[in-house]
Structure 1
């Protein structure tokens, strides 16, 4: 167990190895920052956190404390055990990537969450053939009755945090989203930090 918070620079990513029962607190150190979040099973990263399977099982597109988030094989993979933020998180939107920035008129080599995921997993000795849709923590995407989406600044305040518990051994990948073209990060990406608490081994 550790009480130390690890910094995650604005626009960067990291992969965290977790065992069953380990918990990660992801904290919006300065407020207003989206964190793209993925999970990949160990030892088989072909099984990954799936927003579409999670939405199907929850029968909603929003999350609340106590929810289990499912894998692409419909296995419980993560639990949302604490949320001190306004509770606004996105389960719909794909990670930003070079093509997304090009479509917005930015340079195609703009830092992006898809490349952050690949780089973070490479440091863990893993490769993935596709980029699954992430859980976009603290991201404020509104929809109207006609199904149109609106991109709004994150309402997360300084110090707001969520705690995720691993329900299987996995790599948890975080990306402090570098988006500065639309307003989801208030046009100014910021660093976040995270804390890992490992499950105490059983004495039995």
Structure 2
């Protein structure tokens, strides 16, 4: 089997994009400018014409499966039904990816004093709507390039994403799925460095 790049989908800063990824195909998330977090969601693609997505990539179930707090190359990421949905097959970045932090949402930003701020939860809903789909829940994403280490006492540190321009991470679909990536709009903590920037999604088809 060979893998070839067929398409690039741009994810403008503070927005999200959804793509359908058949089993065996790959998606490469590229940090174009460096220092940008991407909230990655994945859902099992229904085959019956259903438009509400119910089975989803679960960070909690994945941590139990891999016995790791953070993902590494070779790890299978699993759904809430414990089925593999994506495999992390390549990592051309410093390798810091978070599986602890929930997607930012309207309530989070209201609590920070900025109601109406763009959020990854809304980006997820908007991106799925572009495909005529919706999600029953907002799952905790895999936050690619996000650097939130766990301190020895169990505390969390919110550090800037350590990626350089062009760094990337690649996943292979284990089942037909819908993948959504949000270029996280968080600009009130330091996770996105000087501010949110664009990401790109390279769709790599199997032949």
> Which category describes the TM-score, using the shorter chain as reference length?
over 0.9
Compute the displacement of 1:2 (Å): 3.7
The Cα of 1:124 is off from its aligned counterpart by: 1.2
Aligned length: 199
- Deviation beyond 4 Å, 4+ runs, structure 1: none
Partner of 1:29: 32
Determine if the alignment matches structure 1 residue 134 to structure 2 residue 134.
Answer: no
Distance in 1 separating the partners of 2:15 and 2:41: 14
Q: Output aligned runs, 1:152-191, within 5 Å.
A: 152-191=159-198
Alignment of 1:1-204 (within 5 A): 1-43=4-46, 45-105=53-113, 107-200=114-207
Does the Cα contact within 8 Å between 2:73 and 2:89 map onto a contact in 1?
yes
Deviations 1:33-57, CA, capped at 9 Å, x for gaps: 0000000101062110000000001
1:181–1:187 Cα contact (<8 Å) kept: no
Residue by residue over 1:73-118, the C-alpha shift from the partner in whole angstroms, topping out at 9 and shown as x without a partner, is 000110000001000000000000011111222x211011000000
Task: Please give the root-mean-square deviation of Cα atoms over the aligned residues, in Å.
Answer: 1.1
Please, which runs of 5 or more residues in structure 1 have no aligned partner?
Answer: none
- Is the 2:18–2:131 Cα contact (8 Å) retained in structure 1? yes
Measure the CA separation in 2 of the matches of 1:129 and 1:8.
Answer: 23
- SS of the residue corresponding to residue 157 of structure 2 reads strand
Does the 8 Å contact 2:32/2:167 carry over to 1? yes
Q: CA deviation at 1:4?
A: 4.0
**d(CA) in 1 for partners of 2:94, 2:134:** 34
| Counterpart Cα distance in 2 of 1:67 and 1:140 | 19
Question: What TM-score does the superposition give when structure 2 sets the normalisation length?
Answer: 0.93
Distance in 2 between the 1:188 and 1:3 partners? Answer: 30
**Normalization by structure 1: what TM-score?**
0.94
Mean Cα deviation higher: 183-192 or 131-140: 183-192
